[in-house]
Amino acid sequence: MASTSDIRKGLCIKYNNDIYKIVEFLHVKPGKGPAFVRTKLKSLTNGKVLDNTFSAGHKIEDVRIETRSYQFLYADGETYHFMNTDDYNQISLQESALDTPGLLKEGEVVTIVFNTEDSMPLSVDMPASVILEVTHTEPGVKGNTATNATKPAVVETGAKVNVPLFINEGDRIKVDTEKGVYMERAKE
């Protein structure tokens, strides 16, 4: 058993007969009244996100997890296939287990979180950023750069990302996988 002081991003807990992953949390100590922890929980079984508030000192049941590195092989419709980088065993997961499946390219190494009690995969953790090639974007118009103007671009995985006007087709860009936004031009 853990308490609210152990809450951190990525912690998996049992709550309301389901397994949730803590996506966001905020410890709040108001001037009047007891402290509490405001959390955003994501269900690892159905993907629903809910907001919940725990009072300070509340006991929570944490789930023992194990992480393993897997390489993404290919997607077959809604099913994504991965290979363990240590023993080459393959597993298949549904698209709902991934946070940003549109940014996942073949050969990318991800971390899959497993429940140690039953060895069931709970979630897929993408790297913090990925480098993707821009396959289609409109040319930027000269003189439109008074503000931080952006334009839509399609990357090699088929995902759409807003990029600055100076990005052209064939450029490689770094994309934040948590928010799905452009970070910078990739350094060669």
Q: Name 120's Cβ contacts closer than 8 Å, sequence gap at least 6.
A: 114
Average pLDDT, the chain: 84
**What confidence tier does 188 reach under pLDDT thresholds 50, 70, 90?**
low
Mean pLDDT computed over 32-39: 88
Say what the pTM is.
0.72
pLDDT tens for 41-59 read 888 777 788 898 888 888 8
- pLDDT at 173 > cutoff 70: yes
Tokens 């809910």, residue located: 50
What Cα–Cα distance (Å) separates residue 140 from each residue in 72, 107, 125, 158? 34, 31, 34, 20
- pLDDT at 2 > cutoff 80: no
* Domains located in the chain, CATH noted: 2-62 (2.30.30.30), 65-125 (2.40.50.140), 129-185 (2.40.50.140)
pLDDT tens for 72-120 read 998 888 888 999 988 988 998 888 778 788 888 888 899 888 888 888 8
- pLDDT at 15 > cutoff 80: yes
Handedness of CA 5, 6, 10, 11 (dihedral sign): negative
pLDDT given at position 71: 92
Please tell me the total number of residues recorded for the chain in this structure: 188
